[in-house]
Amino acid sequence: MLRLPPFRYLAPVTIEQAAAMLAGEGEQAMLVAGGTDLYPNMKRRQFTPPVLIGLRGIAALKSIDGSPEQSMRIGAGVTLTTLAEHPLIQQHYPALATAAAAVSTPQLRNAGTIGGNVLLDTRCNYYNQTEFWRHSIGYCMKKDGDICLVAPGSPRCWAISSADTAPVLVTLDAQVRLVSVRGERVIPVRQLFQDDGMHPYTKTADEILTEILLPPADGWRSAYIGSFDFPILGVAAALRVAADGSVANARLTLGAVASHPVEVHDAVARLVGQHPTPQLLEEVASLAAKRAKPLDNADLTINYRKQVTPVYIRRALHELLEV
Amino acid sequence: MKTRQTARNEQGHAYTYIGNPLPKVDAYAKVTGRALYADDIMLPRMLYGRLLRSPHPHARILSIDIRQALELPGVLAVITGEDLPQKFGILPSSQDEYALAREKVRYVGDPVAAVAALDPDILDEAIRLIKVEYEVLPALMSIDEALAHPDIKINDEARIGNIHKAVSYEFGEVDAGFAQADYVREDWFYYEGNNHAPIEAHACVANWEPMPTDPVGGKLTLWSSTQTPHYVHREVSKVLGLPQSHVRVIAPHVGGGFGGKSDPFSHEICACELSRRTGRPVKITCTREEVFLLHRGRHPVKMWIKTGVKRDGTLTAMHFRSFLDGGAYGSYGIATTYYTGALQTVTYTLPCYKFEGMRLFTNKPPCGPKRGHGTTQPRYAVEVHLDKIAHDLGLDPVEFRRRNLIEPYTHTINGLRITTCALGPCLDQVVARSHWNEFHSAQAMTSLSSNGHVADTAISPPPSHSRGGGGVDEGRGPLRSPSAGLGLPEGNAASIKRGMGIAASSYICGAGKPIYWNDLPHSAVQIRLDRGGGVTVYCGATDIGQGSTSILAYIVAEELGVQPGHIHLETADTTLTPVDLGSYSSRVTFMAGNAAIAAALKLKGQLFEAVSAQLLVPEERLRAENGVIYDEDDPGTSLSFIQAVQLAEARYGALVASGSYAPPEGIHGDYKGAGVGPSPAYSYSACVAQVAVDVETGEVVVEKLWLAHDVGQSINPLLVAGQVEGGAYMGYGEAVMEQQIFRKGRHKIPSLLDYKLPTTLDTPEIETILVEIPDREGPFGGKEAGQGPLNPVIPAIANAVYDAVGVRIDETPITADKLRAEVTPARWAPRPQVMPSEAPSPWPTRLIKWQPEEKGVR
């Protein structure tokens, strides 16, 4: 069995305490909630933080409040199981419940949190390996090395955003609250992400993601197609249908195709104002799929992942529209 | 569960325990976490050890500097290849391993040095401080690279280039056989390698106890998660230069083996040497990555088959070639090479047969035996190849197989003795229970009423394929999501096609020859009765989860008429227990079971003599049951088991008896190499698989497996069903998920997260059917169940995929990407999926021609 590196563990019970500890311990400290992503990474020495600040003792992070008519607030410490089983989420934000239920296995969903899933470290099968393996192949720029082993000619890291819930939250137009000793801010979740495998989040080192805010459901339908393991493709779609049956609004976000969730605007714009037909959905899917540019750093072949992208986009749209 | 008839012995008495679904004797201990596995063992003053492994697939070691590591506080010993200069290997003919590499490393993971320290947290740093200078050499990573570069020599065991072993046989007159054929077909197949993935990672604890007055200096005990303590005993003694009398190897509870714990391993030998040097116990527990690296898994095999067949489906000749990717060392590979050819003749009657096999060294973790050892790959190839022939000729695939079934009580063309064979009933069972005929009638109707395809994605089947591509496509509920791929949403019924495929197989019930040639028993059991009525059974057999310890208990309980829970069991301890060769080749129930019967019958004889004299009842009328020995004609005339033991002990002295088993003579031919393949009996299995394929995404979901197994007589049907289901699950994983991929010389995904194995969620419904026709030589008529049932599952799934979508993937695993590429119309002429390998011509070994003598041969 791989062993954890040594670390100190701090256990705040309020957000304020946690923010103070985070500011006080400096940039080397890390936050941990469920630990289902961080601890395996620590065992493989992707991270060796001297201090962990555990968020599981903070009651304020563990509730889901509000209503789909007004807006809903999901504490960052809510487990994926709780989220997936929440009746209001299931009914009014079904894509989010589906995505939460798609993460890993029941045991890990019982421990893993929505905040942790949103802030999942980007993944790559040159990076998510043991110290021995990475030493053997010569390390990559994301940890201990200088180059990207997937695309050695590239100046950047291509690790993949693999969180199932991230593309869904973007598609739902969610916001997140970030708290630090300096104060707090609420930003659209899409601004939390950036297309950089090494630094995939805009959150500063002293900020804590405390909650996720969902806008009123307001007639939006949503669907997510992902997978059992870390997704090799995630498709999140949300749209609203007008009284005449035409598409009033539509949003589409792809997961696991880049270092951040990729929003597809141009393709779905074609849906708006239209009465959906199978042909139209096919066109939209094909166009949207062009945004997926997989590299050889996840399961199955690049070609395959490219080829099935439009199929899954079309299927996600079909789940939302009767054509 | 099917209704069962109570099994009876030859006298017509119903068995008390045999054939009954009893719990395993160690079930409670395992379920409650009390059972001790090797890593659970903690001894006072114990040190922790770890191996430094090569980061390069092929390199020369220029220097190793251990000084800094030795100076690290907490480090007590560091050893390198110079400290263990004795070569070893599981086969006497492949002594090509050092516990720690000398001069060269041959794969990423090849052990180079070993450290022992006070605390496991020191080991990281200690390993880092060992400085090894390498000269990197070119690495050969596939069968074809190894064939193409004879100048780059990986392992000196190879006499020509990188060819570790080449064999060539002709049984009967093959040219004449092909001349009689109305139709001849050739195919290439590739079977991907894979790991056993036992849930318990390999672990061991070694304890050297010094004894200055002993000229040897002390005694060594090794607890190890091994399937073969006897062979580990021999090899550890050899490498450490200790007499076997001073080495004790114990297998505690073992958390799964599947063949992966059958070799002597570097970590075992190093733990022993580190313990001897430090005078303290040393534990080494492998990580999951190390399990992938020490490997000994399924050989990747490329195969070419040519078969001749008459118009009515009678097989006239087969020529089979195998190319095995052996990895860096020999392991069991010579035996594996033979096994890829030896059993082709055991399932269907072949009037003549030619086999050429070749194992190549490559710079990958060494391959070895995995469940189905060397027979799984050819079984896949042959059963798919025969399915193709059936379709080519318009023959019903079931009838085609039935026409060629081996006859019971015959010898094969390569000289193997066949006893019982219930493959016919197995085929009948899976065909009936899967509603095979109804399924295909419905499929044919669908094909007539529509073209049976989704308009723009599926290809039309070739005209000669009478059934292929006519998949039944009405939705039967959503597909379940396989962990290997994307989730399938509901409501895609239009793109889902279903198919059914069938396959059959056979497997040995124990290797007819031991690994080192000798005339000694293959298994022995001692039983001791004490005057308090205690029964203790001693046997070297190693329970790796399959239930061999429980089997000993049921058998002895049945013979002595006591309850299984009454019996103490001492197993897998080279000091306490008589030799059993190990848990491999599906041999334990058959061989240890017969040895246990022999031992129990001796004691029963003594008990009956004593009771007969006391009760004045003739021995023939005595029965032992439920702790009582009684007169069958007058059950009231009886003595308790304890009274009987005391009477017998007074009469004969301490009651100890042993029984042993060796396979009979005359079960194989007299040519060189005839030692691989013979067995005292063969089990038979048949499988029907039903699959659903999403033609848009290529995803395959195996919906159900029907698996009928000819087990002779189940000793415990629960355990047999468990073995059959385990085989089905493992075969399913190999068919659609598992692959041992290498990238840049490294195993691409050595973790259970990324290496795709089926989970409970993925595993299809399995309907197990036990066919029980007792074998004359098996214990109570029993045959094996541990390995055989895996073999037909993989080709049944492959054939079902073809039945669903009219496309063949001639390699494993059948993954979504491969299938989609074939189902989607190609823009250019399709190239063969499996490119032929260029073999040296002539085949680089002397052809052995052998004809069976008239006697006993069809």
Best B456, B486, B488, B824 residue to mutate vs chain A (most A CBs within 10 Å): B486
Query: Helix B588-615 and helix B548-560: axis angle, to 10°?
Result: 20
**Residue B174, helix vs strand vs coil:** helix
Smallest Cα–Cα separation from B527: which of B622, B574, B620, B592? B592
Rounded-to-integer distance, Cα A24 and Cα A47, Å: 19
In chain A, which residue's Cα lies nearest the Cα of B39? A1
Q: What does the pLDDT look like over B585-621, one tens digit per residue?
A: 999 999 999 999 999 999 999 999 999 999 999 999 9
- The DSSP symbol for B688 reads E
Angle of helix B588-615 relative to helix B641-652, nearest 10 degrees, comes to: 80
Tokens 């050739």 correspond to B186
State the pTM of this model: 0.95
The tens digit of pLDDT for each residue in B751-789 reads 998 999 998 889 999 999 999 999 999 999 999 999 999
Name residues whose C-beta falls within 8 Å of residue B408's C-beta, 6 or more positions apart in sequence. Answer: B418, B419, B420, B421
The count of other CB atoms within 10 Å of the CB of residue A302 is: 14
Confidence at residue B856, expressed as pLDDT on a 0 to 100 scale: 47
Which ranges in B450-543 belong to alpha helices (H)?
none
Cβ separation of B120 and A318 shorter than 8 Å? no
- CB of B298 within 8 Å of a chain A CB? The answer is no
Confirm if A18 and A29 have CB atoms less than 8 A apart. Answer: no
Nearest residue, CB atoms, B489 vs list A3, A230, A315: A315
ipTM for the assembly:
0.95
Greatest alpha-carbon span in chain B: 90
CA distances in angstroms from A296 to A126, A175, A293, A299, B824, listed in the order given: 10, 32, 10, 8, 22
Between CA B680 and CA B667 the distance in angstroms is 7
CB contact under 8 A, B753 and A233: no
- Read off the pLDDT band of B827 (50, 70, 90): low
Q: What is the mean pLDDT of chain B?
A: 93
Q: Which residues in chain B touch residue A222, judged by CB atoms under 8 angstroms apart?
A: none
Q: What is the pLDDT of residues B795-813, one digit of tens each?
A: 999 999 999 999 999 999 9
Given a contact cutoff of 8 angstroms between Cβ atoms, the answer to whether A123 and A104 are in contact is no
Kindly indicate the confidence band of residue A300, based on its pLDDT and cuts at 50, 70 and 90: confident
Mean pLDDT, residues A220-236 taken together: 87
Buried b (16+ CB within 10 A) or exposed e, B76-114: bbbbbbebbeeebbbbeebebbbbbbeebbbbbbbbbbb
Residue B455: pLDDT band with limits 50, 70, 90: very low
Q: Give the nearest chain B residue to A123 (CA atoms).
A: B754
How far off is chain A from B787, nearest CA to CA, in Å?
29
pLDDT tens track for B166-191: 999 999 999 999 999 999 999 999 99
Cβ pairs A/B, distance under 8 A: 92
Query: How close is the nearest chain B Cα to the Cα of A39, in Å?
Result: 14
Whether B763 and chain A come into contact, CB under 8 Å, resolves to no
**What is the arithmetic mean of pLDDT over B349-369?**
98
The Cα B615–Cα B602 span in angstroms is: 20
CB of A237 within 8 A of CB of A222?
yes
Average pLDDT, chain A: 95
Candidates B287, B487, B748; nearest CB to A228: B487
Tokens of B759: 């989970």
Angle (CA) B502 B503 B507, round 5°: 155
Of A74-88, B1-15, B86-100, minimum mean pLDDT range: B1-15
Contacts of residue B735, defined as CB under 8 A and 6 or more positions apart, other chains included, come to B702, B793, B794, B797, B798, B812, B813, B814
How many other C-beta atoms lie within 10 A of the C-beta of residue A153? 6
Cα B581–B584–B587 angle (5° rounding)?
Answer: 75
* Of A129, A132, A299, Cβ closest to residue B53: A132
Tokens of A100: 């939460």
Candidates A232, A307, A313, A319: best to mutate against B (most CBs of B within 10 A) is A307
pLDDT of the residue at B761 = 86
Backbone angles phi, psi at B409, to 5 degrees: 55, 55
pLDDT digits (tens, 9 = 90+) for B195-228: 999 999 999 999 999 999 999 999 999 999 999 9
What percent of chain A lies above the pLDDT cut of 70?
Answer: 99
B757 to chain A: closest CA residue: A229
**Least confident segment among A29-43, B179-193, B453-467, B683-697:** B453-467
Identify whether the C-beta of residue A167 lies closer than 8 Å to the C-beta of residue A189: no
Query: How is residue B620 annotated by DSSP?
Result: G
Mutate to test the interface with B, among A4, A124, A132, A135 (most CBs of B within 10 A): A132
Q: Is residue B821 pLDDT above 60, yes or no?
A: yes
State yes or no: pLDDT of B473 exceeds 90: no
- Whether the ω angle into residue A50 lies within 30 degrees of 0, i.e. cis, is no
Helix (H) or strand (E) holding B171: strand B163-171
Which residue type sits at B721? A
H/E segment holding residue A22 = helix A15-25
Q: Kind of pairing, strands B59-65 and B131-136?
A: antiparallel
A310: preceding bond cis by omega (within 30 degrees) = no
pLDDT of residue B828: 56
Encode pLDDT of A238-248 as tens digits. 999 999 999 99
Average pLDDT value for residue range B500-511:
98
- Out of A3, A229, A304, closest to residue B120 by CB: A3
One DSSP character per residue, A214-253 reads EPP-TT-EEEEE--SSS-S-EEEEEEEE-TTSSEEEEEEE
Contact A227, A202 (CB under 8 A): no
- pLDDT band for position B494 (cuts 50, 70, 90): confident
Calculate mean pLDDT across residues A187-191. Answer: 98
